[in-house]
Chain A
Amino acid sequence: MRTILIEPEYEAWRAAARQLLAQGVAPEEVLWTDDRQEASLFVGESPPDSAAVQGASAIKVPAAFMDLARSVAAHTDARRWGLLYRVLWRLTRGAERHLLAMATDRDVRQLQDWGKAVGRDIHKMHAFVRFRLVGTDVATGREQFVAWFEPEHRIVRLAAPFFEKRFAGMDWSILTPYECAHWDGTRLHFTAGVSRSSAPDEDALDDLWRTYYRNIFNPARVKISAMQSEMPKKYWKNLPEASLIAGLIAESTGRVQGMLETEERAAKPAPNNAYLKSLHAMNQSEAAAQNHESDLA
């Protein structure tokens, strides 16, 4: 049994896995960790030097697996490195090249679940990041925005290209507890994580946004569980509109009751408008034509 210590990144796992695979080391013989303290309890071993290994480049792995591995690597579950290696082994040395088609396989299913959790986390980051205007660059005239977000997994690098494409015309930073992403119009780069207090708490537009949120809500259709399954409470603390939720729910019954008790309005006669008259004339002649047709039939 050997313990392999890697940085918690896809590239580090990939490099180590290639070497182990080339040396024919079976998954049962490897203990993976990205935790230095844990590794020191065992005799930690760095992955073998790539130059020393022959034939590593000859290994053929389905592209779909590498895509899946990239997502799974961003997950926080400590078992992911070992499971990735086991599935890699089965795909190659184990001669199960079709393995990824088997959603019924325990290992595959677990990797897919982790991949899906990471994909969802990325999607929620794209959705729930809220930029706050902090100023304008005097030299370039570009607006500068800062956002705070707390992702569940290590997804900042996977999620950042989306923001680059979408917000190319403004400068922005997204701060998270473990890594930050920055865009200045020419370069996307990453720095170490910071604390919540580094990001602004509000934006002058938040009130107007809450006005929109309050008025687009339909009190006659309350469905709280549907809202929460897509927007779990853990995200609420960083969403400016979430402070309205409790109040909107509490007053909805009374508002609907008010609608039901409102006296019905009678129809008002049509105003004197040329367009409206032409419309009514058109409708009448079409109805007459239809009657004529059905007479013929």
Chain B
Amino acid sequence: MDITRKLEILADAAKYDASCASSGAARKDSRGSAGVGSTGGMGICHSYTPDGRCVSLMKVLMTNACLYDCHYCINRRSSNVTRARFTPDEVVKLTLDFYKRNYIEGLFLSSGIIRSADHTMELVIEVARKLREVHQFRGYIHLKTIPEASQELIALAGRYADRISINVELPSQQSLNTLAPEKNLARTEEAMGHIRGKIEERHAEKRKPDAPKPPPFATGQSTQMLVGADASTDAVILGCADKLYTSHRLRRVYYSAFSPIPEPSSILPLKAPPLIREHRLYQADWLLRFYEFKVEEIASTAAPNLDLALDPKLSWALRNRATFPVDVNKAPRELLLRIPGLGVRNVERILAARRYTRLRLADLVRLRLQMKKLLPFITTADHHPARLGLDSDSLRARFLPPPEQLEINFDAPPIPATSDFFSVRSGEL
């Protein structure tokens, strides 16, 4: 099989991993070496595909042959997909060739599991080792790790990689038992705990005065959860994400709405979830990480699923109308962050400006805020919303998107409309 055919199969096999991030790596570059590569600061998206996703890393599998039978995955052993396998040297050459042409920021390498977890990890690590040690490659490397691999191998992967990750895939063991019988949540979390320990250990070493610089280690770990393949509610998914952020200090949790694959399994649900659900989960995730929200405030046991029609911050505000209106000239930061339509950056701008002036509506217009969304929830020097408006039930109706006419085609199952699609990166509020 030639390299073009292998790349077709092993890129296609890797595209269901949403993460392509190349940010948050330690600062390093190629000056003074015979190689290429630099990392640090924000990542760069070198291209975009028509699915709205960023192409930052060359995302491929070492092989798409796999012992596991995860029913949402095109590479599971029961699938009839064509199998292929790269040699480590082929991946090394592709990475360097692509990198030198400025197509990519680096490599995202994962693999189907063959023979054993350790054997597979060794193949993946060999690519990273060659890139770093033989070719002095200083670009970004993201390695997927397997929880059951030995701790020594995971530590070695971390030495060569800027980021390592293990996918949780589903938020409960019960769901895994049905859809991914080889996977185990407890072992995944245990491995994440070890990785967290390594990352923090190196961080502490680096801070010691006069100590020699410790060997490099990945600066972060991330994971991915599949949405809509099992019956888990948003509250369960967000609860799992929150636990991973707090107990294992993950950099990112990616949410991937299960979408049709070319080799469907009989165990999977027939209907893919609306992509808007994935988008709402990203918005909720942002609220957890940057807006000081708690999971129970966004998705509670009483209402465990996010409102698909409204963003979760607006939805919270409508459920907590007594909190509003908020005075933008006086309210503390944490309260400003709760105002629908006001993002973190604009909160900082308001805090800076109000030290010197009493803000009026015209000032907010100059910040290009979404005034229609904002007005019912704030007071300024020259604006006090009518209490009646804020308490009125019509407030929710005001924010709902206009009704859409449904087209029903009885011959073909519905394909989500273009408006249902949201890019992974659009989770920002």
Query: A residues engaging B (CB < 8 A)?
Result: 98, 101-106, 109, 123, 126-133, 143, 145, 147, 162, 164-170, 203, 205, 207-209, 211-227, 230-231, 239, 241, 245, 248-249, 252-253, 256-260, 262, 264-268, 270-271, 273-276, 279-280, 282-283, 286-287
Given A98-B355, A101-B356, A165-B31, verify A226-B259 contact (CB < 8 Å). Answer: no
Closest to A96 in B: B356
Give 15 pairs: A residue, B residue, CB < 8 Å, sorted on A. A132-B101, A169-B30, A207-B4, A208-B94, A217-B49, A224-B50, A226-B52, A226-B422, A249-B50, A252-B50, A257-B415, A262-B263, A268-B77, A286-B184, A287-B177
**Top 8 nearest A-B pairs by Cβ distance?**
A226-B52, A223-B52, A104-B363, A165-B29, A275-B116, A226-B423, A223-B421, A215-B11
Interface presence of B33 (CB below 8 A): yes
- With the chains together, A283 CA to B359 CA distance in Å? 60
Given A165-B38, A168-B33, A221-B421, verify A227-B48 contact (CB < 8 Å). Answer: yes
| Inter-subunit contact A205/B29 (CB<8 Å) | no
Q: Is the interface of A mostly helix, strand, loop or mixed?
A: helix
List, in ascending order, chain B residues with CB within 8 A of A216's CB. 11-12, 14-15, 49, 55, 59
Given A103-B367, A167-B36, A209-B98, verify A264-B266 contact (CB < 8 Å). Answer: yes
List, in ascending order, chain B residues with CB within 8 A of A101's CB. 352-353, 355-356
| Inter-subunit contact B418/A222 (CB<8 Å) | yes
- Tell me which of B39-47, B207-215, B398-406 binds A: B39-47
Interface presence of B204 (CB below 8 A): no
Q: Is the interface of B mostly helix, strand, loop or mixed?
A: loop
- With the chains together, A226 CA to B424 CA distance in Å? 10
Given A208-B4, A221-B51, A226-B426, verify A104-B357 contact (CB < 8 Å). Answer: yes
Closest to B7 in A: A211
Closest to A147 in B: B102
Interface presence of B265 (CB below 8 A): yes
- Give 9 new A-B contacts, CB below 8 A, not counting A102-B352, A241-B47: A101-B356, A143-B100, A167-B30, A215-B7, A221-B275, A223-B422, A224-B50, A224-B418, A225-B52
- With the chains together, A268 CA to B260 CA distance in Å? 20
Identify A106's interface contact among B16, B32, B366, CB under 8 A: B366
| Inter-subunit contact B264/A248 (CB<8 Å) | no
| Inter-subunit contact A209/B101 (CB<8 Å) | yes
Closest to A221 in B: B51
List, in ascending order, chain A residues with CB within 8 A of B51's CB. 217-219, 221-223, 227
List, in ascending order, chain A residues with CB within 8 A of B94's CB. 208
| Inter-subunit contact A265/B45 (CB<8 Å) | no
- With the chains together, A205 CA to B53 CA distance in Å? 22
Closest to A206 in B: B101
Fill in one digit per residue for B72-112: 1 if any A CB lies within 8 Å of its CB, else 0.
Answer: 00000111100000000000001001101111000000000
Q: How far, in Å, is A156 (CB) from chain B's closest CB?
A: 15
Q: How far, in Å, is B20 (CB) from chain A's closest CB?
A: 9
- With the chains together, A223 CA to B259 CA distance in Å? 14
Q: How far, in Å, is B67 (CB) from chain A's closest CB?
A: 5
List, in ascending order, chain B residues with CB within 8 A of A245's CB. 50
Closest to B103 in A: A209
| Inter-subunit contact A213/B367 (CB<8 Å) | no
| Inter-subunit contact B100/A217 (CB<8 Å) | no
- With the chains together, A127 CA to B104 CA distance in Å? 8
Given A224-B50, A252-B50, verify A215-B186 contact (CB < 8 Å). Answer: no
Closest to A246 in B: B50
| Inter-subunit contact B366/A223 (CB<8 Å) | no
Interface presence of B117 (CB below 8 A): yes
List, in ascending order, chain B residues with CB within 8 A of A265's CB. 78-80, 263-266
| Inter-subunit contact B366/A275 (CB<8 Å) | no
